[in-house]
C-alpha cells in the first residue's frame, strides 16, 4: 500500500524564507576521550601549523615517507588545474609500504590478517609481504610489463589484490582495479580506455557462502573490440572452480609468481609517476578514469590515516571493510595503512555470511581497535537489531570511522552506542575518488564531535561552502562544497581527457574545485554534507536536502531506512516523495503512521519539508558501493520507464518496488 497526501502545506503553515538547509537541529556533542586526547598522534596544533604555512605543512608530511631523492619543491601550480606535487622528489611507493618496515626491524609484524568468507585464514607478516610483492614484481617484468604501462586488476578481496597493486607500484606500472562485482562490459570499457597490457584476476571468490566465478567475465571482456592490447592474463587460484583456458594468454599466478626470486630492487620513480587509474561510474556518460600519481597521493593517504585514525602501529589492529575496487580500498587498505606499518584485517565476504554477527565475530577474533565502514552497513546492522553485536566482545575498539555518504545522526548515535560502547570517537570522513584521501573529518583526539557532521577540513586542506555566485556563505548558510586550494592527493586529470577534467571540476566556480556536493555551515562554521547537488529538491522555490529529510525520517522509531526524491509537481515544482523501510514492528498498512511520519519531518525541518507521499518498501536500490540510486526512485515517483539499472547490486529490487506501488496520482 502507499500513502498519499495532497495537503503538503496546510493552510495555516507558515513558510519561512530562511534557507531550509538550516532547520535540522542537532545538539548532541561528544568530547574526545581524555586518554586518547592525551596520547593523540595529532593535536590541535596541526591546524595552526598548516594555517601558518600550508605548503610547509605538507612538505613536513611528505618527510614521513622515505624518498630516494628528497623533493625541494612542494607544489608547482603554474598551470592550474594541473598540479605537480614534490616534482623533483623520487621514491618507490611499494618500498614505502613494505621494505622500509622490514628494514626498521618490523619484519615479523603481521601486515594482513586475512579472513576468508568460508572461515579460512592467513596471517602475512611484513617480511612475507615483501617477498611476495617482490616475486610478483619480477613476474610482471618477465611478462613484459614495464614502467608507464597499465595493468587491470579484477580480484576478490584476497591478499593477492594488495600484492598485485604493490607489485605494479614497485615497477612503476599503473594499476586499474575493477570492482569484482562489475560485468564483462564494464571490464572491457575500462581495459579499453586505460589501454591495459595485462589483467590479473582469479578463478573466483567466495560470496554469500558460494564460490562466485570471476574469470568468465574477463574472458568475455577480452573477446570485445578494443581489448587486444592485453597480452597475458594472470589467474590467482582461490575457489578451485573450473575455468576456461586460453593457451598462450592465460597463466596461473602460483606458477608464474611462485617460481620468482623474492629479491627485487625497487627503482625510484618521479613523484608524479602515475600510480593508478580508478574509474568512477558517475550518474551519466562514460566512466571517468581518475588518475592519481605517487608522491603527493601517498603523502596524504599516509598522513590522514595516521591522523584521523590515530594509528599506533605497534598496538592497533585496523579494519576497513571496503572493497579494494573502490578508492577507500586503495587509500585505506593498501596505501595508507601499509605506508604506516599497520596490522590490518582483510575480510573477503559479506557481513551476513554465515550469520549476521560475522563482522562482530571478526572484531572479537582479531581484537580490532579501529573500524572503518559505511553508513549503509551501519543502517543494515541497526535493522538487524542491537542484540546481534551485543553477543560479541567489542571492547578492543577505540576509534570508529564512517565514509561514503552522509551518515544520519541516528545511525551515528547507534554506531557509537552499540558498537563503540558509548566511548569511541566517530570520525565521519568526507572525501571522493577524485580527492584521493580524506579532506573533511574530525580528529579523534581533538574534535568535539556532532552526530551527522564531517565538521572541519583537515589540517592543510581548504574547503568551504559557496552560493551560486561563488561567494562564501556565512556561518549558518548553505550552498555548494568547494575546495579552494590544491591538495597533495588531488586527481591529476581524467585519463586521456584533460578537457573533461577542467569542465567537470574546475569550471563551475572560477579557480575552485567543485565537488558536486551540497553542504551547509552551522553556527560554529562546521560543515554538514547534504548529498549530491543533483539530488537536492526544489519545493515551492526552496532548496531542500534529501539527506536532511531522510535523517529526519530515520530518527522516527518506526523507520529503519529512507530514501527521498523530488518528483515533478504542478503546484510546487517538485514534491517530496519518501520511500521508507519500516522497522520490524511497524505496520505498512497503518495509514496513521504516514501522518505521524509527515508530522515528524515537519517538526524537525519545517512544514515545507513534509513529504507529499510516503511509500513503504522492502528494499532500496543501491549501487555496488552502497549508495542509494535516487535517480531510479525518481523514475518510479514520476511514473517513467526506469533508466539504466546495471550498476545496482540487485536489479530485482526495482521490480519489487514497482509492483508495490499504485499509479501515481
531: cell is 548529498
In angstroms, the CA 551 to CA 412 distance is 11
d(CA 181, CA 626): 12
Of the candidate residues 132, 270, 272, 428, the single one contacting ligand WT7 (CB under 6 A)? 428
Minimum separation from the CB atom of position 561 to ligand WT7 (A):
16
Residue 625 found at the interface with ligand WT7 (CB under 6 A): yes
Query: Given candidates 157, 177, 454, 578, which one binds ligand WT7 under the rule CB under 6 A?
Result: 454
CA distance 362 to 368: 8
Q: Is 404 annotated as a binding residue?
A: yes
- Helices and strands: H and E segment counts in the chain: 22, 31
156 forms part of the interface with ligand WT7 (CB under 6 A)? no
540 belongs to an annotated ligand binding site? yes
Binder to ligand WT7 among 32, 404, 409, 459 (CB under 6 A)?
404
Say if residue 207 carries a ligand binding annotation: yes
Residue 526 binding ligand WT7, by CB under 6 A = no
Using CB under 6 A, which of 99, 132, 348, 405 touches ligand WT7? 405
* Contact range with ligand WT7 by CB under 6 A, out of 294-302, 333-341, 429-437, 607-615: 429-437
| Nearest-angstrom CA–CA distance, 225 and 248 | 19
Closer to ligand WT7 at the Cβ: 533 or 636? 533
Give CA–CA dist 429/461, Å, rounded: 13
**Collapsed DSSP state (helix, strand, coil) of residue 601:** helix
Three-state SS string across 602-631, please? HHHHCHHHCCCEEEECCCCCEECCCCECHH
Candidates 155, 200, 482, 529; binder of ligand WT7 (CB under 6 A) is 529
Shortest separation between residue 443's beta carbon and ligand WT7, angstroms: 15
Segment 258 to 317, residues that bind ligand WT7, using CB under 6 A = 280
Q: Minimum CB separation from ligand WT7 for residue 331, in Å? A: 8
**645 is an annotated ligand-binding site residue:** no
To ligand WT7, the closest distance from the beta carbon of 280 in angstroms equals 5
Cα(259)–Cα(338) distance, integer angstroms: 25
Q: Is 429 annotated as a binding residue?
A: yes
Segment 535 to 554, residues that bind ligand WT7, using CB under 6 A: none
Asked if residues 371 and 321 have their Cβ atoms less than 8 Å apart, the reply is: yes
Q: Is 585 annotated as a binding residue?
A: no
Query: Which one of residues 86, 154, 335, 430 is an interface residue with ligand WT7 (CB under 6 A)?
Result: 430
Contact between 452 and 547 under an 8 Å Cβ cutoff? The reply is: no
- 335 is an interface residue for ligand WT7 by CB under 6 A: no
For ligand WT7, the closer of residues 89 and 531 by Cβ is 531
> What would the DSSP string read from start to end of 99-150?
IHHIIIIITTSEEEEEE-TTS-EEEEEHHHHHHHHHHHHHHHHHTT--TT-E
SS3 of residue 235 by DSSP: strand
Question: Considering the complex, what minimum distance in angstroms separates the CB of residue 117 from ligand WT7?
Answer: 23
Interior angle at CA 455, CA 449 and CA 458, nearest 5: 110
* CB 427, min distance to ligand WT7, A: 9
379 is in an annotated binding site: no
> Contacting ligand WT7 (CB under 6 A), which of 403, 575, 582, 637?
403
Give the integer Cα–Cα distance in Å for 159 and 162: 5
Does the protein bind ligand WT7 through residue 425 (CB under 6 A)?
no
Residue of 164, 185, 182, 181 lying closest to 173 (CA atoms): 164
What Rg value do the Cα atoms of the chain yield, rounded? 24
Question: Under the criterion CB under 6 A, does residue 333 sit at the interface with ligand WT7?
Answer: no
Whether residue 405 is annotated as binding a ligand: the answer is yes
Q: Is 402 left (phi over 0), alpha (psi -120 to 50) or beta?
A: beta
Nearer to ligand WT7, 453 or 572 (CB): 453
Among 64, 224, 312, 532, the residue binding ligand WT7 under the rule CB under 6 A is: 532
Decide whether 270 or 428 has the Cβ nearer to ligand WT7: 428
Out of 429, 449, 551, 574, the only residue in the binding site for ligand WT7 (CB under 6 A) is 429
Bridge partners, residue 293, by sequence: 274
Query: Rounded to whole angstroms, how far apart are CA atoms 438 and 328?
Result: 10
Known binding residue 253? Answer is: no
- Extract the annotated binding site for ATP: 404-406, 428-433, 517, 532
Bind-site residues for Mg(2+): 554, 556, 559
Interaction site with ligand WT7 (CB under 6 A): 280, 326-328, 403-406, 428-433, 454, 515-517, 529, 532, 625
Amino acid at each position: 500500500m502507499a500513502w498519499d497526501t495532497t495537503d503538503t502545506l496546510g493552510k495555516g503553515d507558515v513558510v519561512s524564507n530562511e534557507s531550509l538547509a538550516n532547520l535540522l537541529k542537532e545538539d548532541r556533542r561528544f568530547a574526545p576521550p581524555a586518554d586518547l586526547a592525551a596520547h593523540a598522534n595529532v593535536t590541535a596544533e596541526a591546524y595552526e601549523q598548516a594555517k601558518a604555512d600550508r605548503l610547509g605543512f605538507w612538505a613536513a608530511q611528505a618527510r614521513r615517507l622515505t624518498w630516494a631523492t628528497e623533493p625541494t619543491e612542494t607544489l608547482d601550480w603554474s598551470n592550474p588545474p594541473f598540479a605537480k606535487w614534490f616534482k623533483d622528489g623520487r621514491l618507490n611507493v611499494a618500498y614505502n609500504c613494505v621494505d622500509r618496515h622490514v628494514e626498521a626491524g618490523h619484519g615479523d609484524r603481521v601486515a594482513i590478517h586475512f579472513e576468508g568468507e568460508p572461515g579460512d585464514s592467513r596471517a602475512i607478516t611484513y617480511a612475507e609481504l615483501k617477498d611476495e610483492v617482490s616475486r610478483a614484481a619480477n613476474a610482471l617484468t618477465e611478462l613484459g610489463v614495464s614502467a608507464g604501462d597499465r595493468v587491470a586488476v579484477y580480484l576478490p578481496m584476497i591478499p593477492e589484490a594488495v600484492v598485485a597493486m604493490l607489485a605494479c607500484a614497485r615497477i612503476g606500472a599503473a594499476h586499474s582495479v575493477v570492482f569484482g562485482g562489475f560485468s564483462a562490459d564494464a571490464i572491457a570499457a575500462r581495459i579499453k580506455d586505460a589501454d591495459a597490457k595485462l589483467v590479473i584476476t582469479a578463478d573466483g571468490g567466495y560470496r554469500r557462502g558460494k564460490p562466485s566465478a570471476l574469470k568468465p567475465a574477463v574472458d568475455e571482456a577480452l573477446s570485445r573490440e578494443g581489448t587486444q592490447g592485453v597480452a597475458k592474463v594472470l589467474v590467482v587460484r582461490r575457489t578451485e572452480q573450473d575455468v576456461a583456458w586460453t593457451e598462450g594468454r592465460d597463466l596461473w599466478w602460483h606458477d608464474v609468481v611462485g617460481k620468482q626470486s623474492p629479491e627485487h630492487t625497487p627503482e625510484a620513480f618521479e613523484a608524479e609517476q602515475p600510480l593508478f587509474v580508478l574509474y568512477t561510474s558517475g550518474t551519466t556518460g562514460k566512466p571517468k578514469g581518475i588518475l592519481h600519481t605517487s608522491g603527493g597521493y601517498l603523502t596524504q593517504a599516509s598522513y590522514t590515516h595516521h591522523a584521523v585514525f590515530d594509528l599506533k602501529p605497534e598496538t592497533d589492529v585496523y579494519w576497513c571493510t571496503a572493497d579494494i575496487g573502490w578508492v577507500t580500498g586503495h587509500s585505506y587498505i593498501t596505501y595508507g595503512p601499509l605506508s604506516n606499518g599497520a596490522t590490518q584485517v582483510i575480510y573477503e565476504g559479506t557481513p551476513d555470511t554465515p550469520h549476521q554477527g560475522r563482522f562482530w565475530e571478526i572484531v572479537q577474533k582479531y581484537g580490532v581497535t579501529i573500524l572503518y565502514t559505511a553508513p549503509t552497513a551501519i543502517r543494515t546492522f541497526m535493522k538487524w537489531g542491537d542484540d546481534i553485536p551485543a553477543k560479541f566482545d567489542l571492547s578492543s575498539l577505540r576509534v570508529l570511522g564512517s565514509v561514503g555518504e552522509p551518515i544520519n545522526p541516528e545511525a551515528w548515535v547507534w554506531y557509537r552506542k552499540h558498537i563503540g560502547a558509548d566511548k569511541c570517537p566517530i570520525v565521519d570522513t568526507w572525501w571522493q575518488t577524485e580527492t584521493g584521501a580524506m579532506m573533511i573529518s574530525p580528529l579523534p583526539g581533538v574534535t568535539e564531535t556532532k552526530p551527522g557532521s564531517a565538521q572541519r577540513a583537515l589540517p592543510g586542506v581548504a574547503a568551504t561552502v559557496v552560493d551560486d555566485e561563488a561567494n562564501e556563505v556565512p556561518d549558518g548558510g548553505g550552498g555548494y562544497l568547494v575546495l579552494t586550494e590544491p591538495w597533495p592527493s588531488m586527481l591529476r586529470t581524467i585519463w586521456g581527457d584533460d578537457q573533461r577534467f577542467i569542465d567537470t571540476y574546475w569550471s563551475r566556480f572560477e579557480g575552485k574545485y567543485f565537488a558536486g556536493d551540497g553542504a551547509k555551515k552551522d553556527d560554529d562554521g562546521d560543515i554538514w554534507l547534504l548529498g549530491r547537488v543533483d539530488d537536492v529538491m526544489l519545493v515551492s522555490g526552496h532548496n531542500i536536502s534529501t539527506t536532511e529529510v531522510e535523517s529526519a525520517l530515520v530518527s522516527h522509531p518506526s523507520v529503519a531506512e529512507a530514501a527521498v526524491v523530488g518528483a515533478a509537481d504542478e503546484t510546487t515544482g517538485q514534491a517530496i516523495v519518501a520511500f521508507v523501510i519500516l522497522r520490524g514492528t511497524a505496520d505498512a498498512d497503518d495509514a496513521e503512521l504516514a501522518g505521524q511520519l509527515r508530522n515528524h519531518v515537519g517538526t524537525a525541518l519545517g512544514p515545507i519539508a513534509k513529504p507529499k507521499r510516503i511509500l513503504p518498501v522492502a528494499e532500496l536500490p543501491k549501487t555496488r558501493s552502497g549508495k542509494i540510486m535516487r535517480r531510479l526512485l525518481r523514475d518510479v515517483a514520476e511514473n517513467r520507464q526506469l533508466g539504466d539499472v546495471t550498476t545496482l547490486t540487485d536489479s530485482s529490487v526495482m521490480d519489487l518496488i514497482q509492483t508495490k506501488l499504485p499509479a501515481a496520482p
